[in-house]
Amino acid sequence: MIDRLYVDDVETSRLTEVAIRAMLLELDPHSSYLDKEEVKAMNEPLQGNFEGIGISFNMLTDTLYVMEVISGGPSQKVGLMPGDKIIYVNDSLIAGIKMNNQDVIKKLRGPKGTTVDVKVLRRGTPQLLEFRIVRDKIPIYSIDASYMVDKQTGYIRLSRFGINSSEEFLEAGKALKAQGMKNLILDLTGNGGGILQTASDIADQFLGAGKLVVYTEGRNQPRQELRTTSAGSFEDGRLVILVDEGSASASEIVAGAVQDWDRGIVVGRRTFGKGLVQRQLPLPDGTMIRLTVARYYTPTGRSIQKPYREGHIDEYHRDFYNRLQNGEMMHADSIRFPDSLKFRTLVNGRTVYGGGGIMPDFFVPIDTNAVTDLHRNLIGRGIVNKLAIAEVDMNRQVMLKSYPDVRRFKSDYAIPESMIDRMKEMAHAEKLEWNDEQFRSSEKLIKLQIKALMARDLFDPSAYFVIINDENDIFREGLRIIGNSSLYSKLLKGTSSVASK
């Protein structure tokens, strides 16, 4: 009728797309419509390479939110962070105006070696932060880091569950075992998920044959189960899984299965709570609908999905800030679970909770005092990154001769005061006000970040985490627990009186 009777010419395909998107918004937070470019962008982080700036993003209420910064990519190198809102691209305002994902992708993507300037709004920073990003070929690796923490403890950080993630995990585990690994810390903090089968394959490495990993069920989808095989490569030895509010979907499946089968200890903060299963429904024109058809459930029957109200998507995406406001991020006892959400683990009968996300066995609060405004601005303006890169560029060969490996660099190298003097000069050039009191508060962490960035440039991506994990509270608690057999055993049996940091 609009096409036939409306006063002006209309583009019916655009109207149809708008109607579909609006209709799906009324269902749940994860049902969505994707145009051709969005379909391509969705698949790339899981299975291929692309040339661009190395982020994944969502357009929410006409604002581009950076959801993930690809490890080793151009955006990470200059200091872009998840949660940033990109306001300008090459002096073109993109916030507050109607743009679809394809329009944004066209502005951010481009041939390797070309540059794009962005201005971002970061929570806690009043002014826009400016970044110049050199586009590059974006390698999609799932493992950010893999190294031996001590003689018996290995560490693997997994950033996503892609097509090749289980193979990468097996290779990393094999290499660590060759170095003497008997216990493993698996870091899933900030891991937003990925492919369901990959999550099952990785959980399979920890659990004995025939054990339920996850099941899905929906009104029009009968129960489907994923179970383990006899192919587990790490069924013995102590296991700690690190999680936080950014751990979602496939990460929650792995953590939930390990927790329900009392196979290891989950350390950190309550996970995101993404337990809705989307089925991809391709449309004839190359676009796609990702429609929620079922829910994920852990082996004990816990629903992973956090509560939501249909049609209230913005409220759903404010959950992180709501957690901060209600004190959950600082105090485990701020989280209240009704008796109806209590479940018992399948071996030791420990109490675990449903109702959204995976509640860790050992809670670690967020440190809201760790970063000052000066620190945020130094990072946001790219000063910390630029300083680290410049120092390595000037002294690479000399440094490698003095510090031939990351262990030596970690133990012996100290940030010289001359670098701090250069940092002040760079801040002055950026018209950034220097605050000595704030610098003293953040000095230890700033120097550690510079050192970690230098290590990554000198050695490899794992070197960054070898150093930065020293100030990572979740990692430190995980390492303490895995190294203390008595505490580990008490937590696994649910008899420890120490449930949080």
Count Cα atoms within 13 angstroms, Cβ side, for 297: 15
Residue 401 CB contacts under 8 Å (≥ 6 apart), including other chains: none
249, 251, 303, 462: which is the annotated catalytic residue? 249
Locate the DSSP E strands across 287-411: 288-297, 342-344, 351-353, 362-363
* Structure-derived torsion over alpha carbons of residues 241, 245, 246, 252, reported in degrees to the nearest 10: 50
Residue 70 CB contacts under 8 Å (≥ 6 apart), including other chains: 45, 54, 55, 56, 76, 138, 140
77, 119, 211, 274: which is the annotated catalytic residue? 274
Q: What is the radius of gyration, based on Cα positions, of the chain?
A: 23
Specify whether the CB–CB gap between 266 and 241 falls below 8 A.
yes
CB atoms within 10 A of CB 299: 23
- Distance CA(451)–CA(453), nearest Å, equals 5
Residue 303 CB contacts under 8 Å (≥ 6 apart), including other chains: 275, 295, 296, 297, 354, 355, 356
Specify whether the CB–CB gap between 262 and 347 falls below 8 A.
yes
The separation between the first and the last C-alpha atoms of the chain, rounded to the nearest angstrom, is 63
Q: Is the dihedral of CA 407, 409, 413, 414 positive or negative?
A: negative
17 burial level (CB within 10 Å; 0-12, 13-18, 19+): middle
Q: Which two tokens stand for residue 318?
A: 């404010």
For 343-381, letters b (16+ CB in 10 Å) and e give bebbeeebebbbbbbbbbbbbbbbeeeebbebbbbbbbb
Residue type, 311: G
Q: Is 166 a catalytic residue?
A: no
- The string of DSSP letters for 87-115 reads EEETTEE-TTS---HHHHHHHH---TT-E
204, 260, 361, 457: which is the annotated catalytic residue? 260
Residue 64 CB contacts under 8 Å (≥ 6 apart), including other chains: 57, 58, 85, 86, 94, 95, 104
Q: Is 249 a catalytic residue?
A: yes
Pairing of the two strands 50-52 and 136-138: antiparallel
DSSP state of 262: T
Q: Is 431 a catalytic residue?
A: no
Specify whether the CB–CB gap between 156 and 188 falls below 8 A.
no
Residues with active-site annotation? 249, 260, 274
